[in-house]
């Protein structure tokens, strides 16, 4: 017997929804962290979403999942607390009934690869189809590296005593070509421009740097293929370790509601 | 006409023209209130992040960016922009308007030092345009899209378009003396029955005595559709049992000979 109850959206549910979303997807990258204001805009005020298409699953008064279905057939957000398979089935059942009533041809849901909801989707007759891809770039390599360096401050201080100056080539229009990172004497700092006093000088392609930072390709391969030049060469190992420390390793997920 | 356009940021009095241009370029996605919701009603909307290309008094292109806070990992959140809709009037396409708009926004926003710009795009367009101009790379892939078919209305629309072509004589005598009924049983979807004869195709969801029954699932169908032009997708699905055909040898042969009809109908949008 299903212990969870499902009802449609009511004013005041936003806080719980936003809290659940940020909690369930806390380990993922690739999405906009939810605030009540953002969620109201991206889901509730979306032109194809009615309040009757927002379903919430509760277990003894505790919110265990929610689903936002639009009359275009897209499930803009589907979020269920780990292990709540009953909530998955109940929410999907309500959404499919609602969308059948609206008259759509098909229902689309996107979820993280391997998420607990995938089994529930398969049981409900959903099949995986090719997904839209997300593409990333930067308008300021220095700012991107700066954010990554700040999040790894303690780790970097314990492992390095260097100043890296990086010069990028094949940089897109309007993007800075140089940045430096100082990891020395208890300071971790990324600055724009090429530091004259750097102990390690690196030249590499803009796209290559992005590919390494986003975990799409390996830095070692770039070095051996001659696409990355490190001076002095004996510092190559230190720079490879530095890039490896900054590299984003977590899984990425974007809900459909962030898409448009 | 040609290189005489200028790029500038959006003004209040441009909104009508920009809305019209976006809606005409993305008619499937952007109808009704969509532009207003996505841009002016967006809490992080910044008019200086929308560029227009103008020739004379006419808006011939636009590019929209949206400010976003994006999570890169469990502990890193950066300020960035979503590179959203770029639209160019059909008669001004392939004249560098899109590139000029992208470069204009990049030069205007250089002072903001935004750590990230991201977008969603068709991989082909990304290779041809976005990577050379903006240095985009694919983001780590971790999102899966699942679909469930509720009805076959889109296939019925494809059938109607096919029958129009038959009436206009576009296929000559290719349909010939064919008389074949094929039922598609797709897991989780209602059955689809296609009856093909010399006059065209009829589609319905009723259970009939079929010459050939095709059994599969949405994922396999989508995989086969994605490898259009090659038979490997279908052969692979047959060998692994994800696609099954049932019927007499004579009907199977008739299906094989008239496969182009089904390819024509199912190559369009079905979900």
Domain limit, last residue, from A76, A104, A131 = A131
Average pLDDT over residues B202-206: 80
> What is the pTM (predicted TM-score) of this model?
0.89
Q: Please report the sign of the dihedral spanned by the C-alpha atoms of residue A225, residue A229, residue A232, residue A234.
A: negative
Residue pair A110/A87 in contact (Cβ under 8 Å)? The answer is no
A146 shares a domain with A127: no
Asked if omega into B35 is within 30° of 0 (cis), the reply is no
Q: Which of A45, A70, A129 to mutate to test the interface with B (most CBs of B within 10 A)?
A: A129
Averaged pLDDT, B11-17? 93
A167: domain CATH number is 3.30.1050.10
Structural domains in chain A (count): 2
pLDDT (tens digit per residue) in A120-132: 999 898 999 888 7
In a domain, A240, yes or no: yes
Listed by number, the residues of chain A in 201-220 with a beta carbon closer than 8 Å to a beta carbon of chain B are 206-207, 210-211, 214-216
How far apart are alpha carbons A169 and A226 in whole angstroms?
Answer: 14
The closest of B80, B84, B68 to B117, measured between CA atoms, is B80
Residue B207: the pLDDT is 66
Give me the residues of A, 45-84, that contact B with CB < 8 A. Answer: 45-47
| A74 shares a domain with A176 | no
Check CB contact of A44 with chain B, cutoff 8 Å.
Answer: no
Give percent of chain A with pLDDT exceeding 90.
Answer: 82
Identify whether residues A154 and A88 lie together within a single domain. Answer: no
- List the CATH number of the domain containing A118: 3.40.630.30
Instruction: Tell me: do A209 and A235 sit in the same domain.
Output: yes
Interface contact A175-B135, CB threshold 8 A: yes
Asked whether the beta carbons of residue A125 and residue B189 sit closer than 8 angstroms, the reply is: yes
| Yes or no, beta carbons of B143 and A253 under 8 Å apart | yes
**Whether residue A173 sits in one domain with residue A124:** no
Is A55 part of any domain? yes
Which of B76, B152, B221 has the CB atom closest to A147's CB atom? B76
Please, which residues have CB within 8 angstroms of residue A115's CB and are 6 or more apart in sequence?
Answer: none
Predicted confidence (pLDDT) at residue B170 exceeds the cutoff of 50: yes
Residues A81, A153, single domain; the answer is: no
Q: What is the pLDDT of residues B86-110, one digit of tens each?
A: 999 999 998 999 999 999 999 888 7
Does A191 lie at the interface with B, CB-CB under 8 angstroms?
A: no
Q: Which residue has the higher pLDDT, B153 or A14?
A: A14
Domain stop point among A72, A105, A131: A131
State the Cα angle at A70 between A107 and B50, rounded to 5°. Answer: 115
Contact B103 A214 (CB under 8 A): no
Q: Which structural domain, as residue segments, surrounds residue A161?
A: 141-246
Contact between chains at A110 and B143 (C-beta distance less than 8 A):
yes
Average pLDDT (A8-36) is: 96
Q: Do B71 and A29 touch (CB under 8 A)?
A: yes
DSSP β-bridge partners for residue A191: A180
Q: What is the pLDDT of residue B33?
A: 82
Contacts of the segment A64-70: beta carbons below 8 A, 24+ positions apart: A64/A4, A65/A20, A65/A91, A66/A13, A66/A17, A66/A20, A66/A91, A67/A91, A67/A92, A67/A94, A67/A95, A68/A43, A68/A257, A69/A95, A69/A98, A69/A99, A69/A107, A70/A46
Nearest chain B residue to A251, by CA: B142
Looking at the domain assignment, is residue A226 inside a domain? yes
Question: Does A119 reach chain B within 8 Å, measured CB to CB?
Answer: no
In a domain? residue A252: no
The residue of chain B with its CA nearest to that of A44 is: B37
Q: Please state, rounded to an integer, the average pLDDT across all residues of chain B.
A: 87
Q: What is the pLDDT of residues B219-259, one digit of tens each?
A: 888 888 776 656 778 888 899 999 999 999 999 998 888 88
Q: Per the domain annotation, does A21 fall within a domain?
A: yes
Write the residue in A113, A172, A249 that is nearest to B134 by C-beta. Answer: A172
Maximum Cα–Cα distance across chain B: 71
Please give the average per-residue pLDDT across A34-59, as a whole number: 96
Question: How much of chain B exceeds pLDDT 90, in percent?
Answer: 49
In a domain, A44, yes or no: yes
Q: What is the mean pLDDT of residues B182-204?
A: 90
Whether residue A254 is contained in a domain is answered as no
Does the pLDDT value for residue A138 go beyond 60? yes
Asked whether residue A156 falls in the same domain as residue A233, the answer is yes
Q: Given an 8 Å threshold on Cβ–Cβ distance, is A113 in contact with B142?
A: yes
**Same domain for A126 and A10:** yes
Asked if the structure places residue A86 within a domain, the reply is yes
Same domain? A25 vs A85: yes
Mind listing the domains of chain B with CATH numbers? 6-134 (3.40.630.30), 153-266 (3.30.1050.10)
Instruction: Answer yes or no: do A166 and A67 share one domain.
Output: no
Structure tokens at A215: 């975990």
Q: Are residues A127 and A145 in the same domain?
A: no
Among A33, A45, A135, whose Cβ lies nearest the Cβ of B41? A45
Chain A residues within an 8 Å CB radius of B73: 29, 151, 248-250
A233 Cα to chain B: minimum distance (Å)? 27
ipTM of the complex: 0.91
* Helix, strand, coil percentages for chain A (3-state, nearest 5): 40, 30, 35
Nearest CA in chain A to B36: A47
The minimum CA-CA distance between B269 and chain A, rounded to whole Å, is 11
The whole-number pLDDT of residue A101 equals 95
Query: Are A108 and A149 within one domain?
Result: no
- Binned at pLDDT 50, 70 and 90, residue B1 comes out as very low
d(CA B247, CA B153): 26
Chain A to chain B, count of Cβ pairs less than 8 Å apart?
262
Q: Which of A106, A112, A140 sits opposite B114 (nearest CB)?
A: A140
- A148 Cα to chain B: minimum distance (Å): 7
Could you say which of A97, A131, A165 is where a domain stops?
Answer: A131
């Amino acid at each position: 017997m299903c212990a969870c109850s499902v009802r449609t959206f009511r004013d005041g549910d936003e806080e719980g929804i936003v809290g659940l979303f940020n909690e369930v997807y806390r380990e993922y990258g690739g999405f906009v962290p939810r605030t009540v204001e953002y969620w109201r805009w991206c889901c509730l005020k979306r032109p194809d979403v009615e309040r009757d298409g927002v379903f919430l699953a509760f277990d003894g008064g505790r919110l265990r999942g929610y689903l936002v279905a639009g009359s275009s057939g897209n499930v803009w957000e589907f979020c269920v607390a780990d292990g709540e398979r009953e909530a998955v089935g109940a929410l999907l059942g309500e959404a499919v009934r609602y969308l059948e009533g609206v008259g759509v041809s098909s229902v689309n849901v996107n979820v993280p690869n391997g998420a607990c909801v995938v089994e529930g989707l398969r049981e409900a007759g959903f099949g995986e189809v090719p997904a839209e891809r997300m593409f990333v770039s930067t308008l300021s390599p220095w700012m991107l590296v700066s954010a990554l360096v700040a999040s790894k401050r303690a780790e970097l201080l314990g492992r390095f005593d260097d100043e890296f100056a990086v010069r990028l080539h094949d940089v897109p229009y309007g993007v800075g070509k140089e940045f430096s990172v100082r990891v020395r004497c208890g300071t971790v700092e990324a600055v724009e421009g090429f530091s004259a006093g750097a102990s390690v000088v690196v030249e590499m392609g803009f796209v290559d740097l992005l590919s390494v930072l986003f975990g799409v390709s390996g830095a070692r391969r770039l070095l051996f293929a001659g696409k990355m030049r490190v001076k002095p060469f004996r510092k190559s190992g230190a720079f490879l370790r530095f890039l490896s420390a900054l590299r984003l390793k977590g899984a990425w997920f974007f809900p459909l509601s962030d898409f448009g | 006409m040609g290189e005489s356009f200028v790029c500038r940021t959006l003004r209040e009095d441009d909104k009508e023209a920009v809305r019209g241009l976006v809606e005409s370029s993305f008619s499937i996605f952007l109808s009704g209130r969509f532009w207003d919701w996505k841009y002016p009603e967006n809490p992080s909307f910044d008019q200086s992040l929308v560029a227009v290309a103008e020739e004379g008094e006419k808006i011939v292109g636009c590019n929209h960016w949206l400010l976003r806070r994006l999570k890169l990992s469990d502990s890193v959140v950066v300020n960035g922009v979503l590179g959203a809709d770029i639209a160019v009037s059909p008669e001004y396409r392939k004249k560098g308007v899109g590139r000029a708009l992208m470069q204009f926004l990049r030069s205007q926003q250089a002072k903001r030092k935004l750590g990230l710009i991201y977008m969603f795009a068709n991989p082909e367009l990304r290779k041809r345009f976005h990577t050379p101009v903006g240095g985009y790379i694919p983001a780590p892939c971790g999102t899966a899209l699942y679909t469930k078919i509720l009805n076959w209305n889109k296939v019925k629309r494809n059938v109607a378009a096919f029958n129009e072509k038959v009436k206009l004589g576009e296929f000559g005598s290719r349909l010939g003396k064919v008389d074949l009924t094929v039922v598609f049983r797709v897991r989780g979807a209602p059955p689809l029955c296609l009856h093909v004869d010399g006059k065209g195709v009829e589609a319905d969801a009723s259970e009939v005595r079929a010459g050939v029954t095709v059994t599969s699932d949405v994922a396999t169908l989508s995989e086969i559709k994605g490898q259009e032009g090659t038979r490997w997708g279908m052969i692979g699905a047959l060998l692994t049992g994800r696609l099954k055909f049932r019927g007499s040898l004579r009907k199977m042969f008739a299906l094989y000979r008239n496969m182009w009809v089904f390819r024509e109908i199912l190559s369009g949008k079905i979900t």
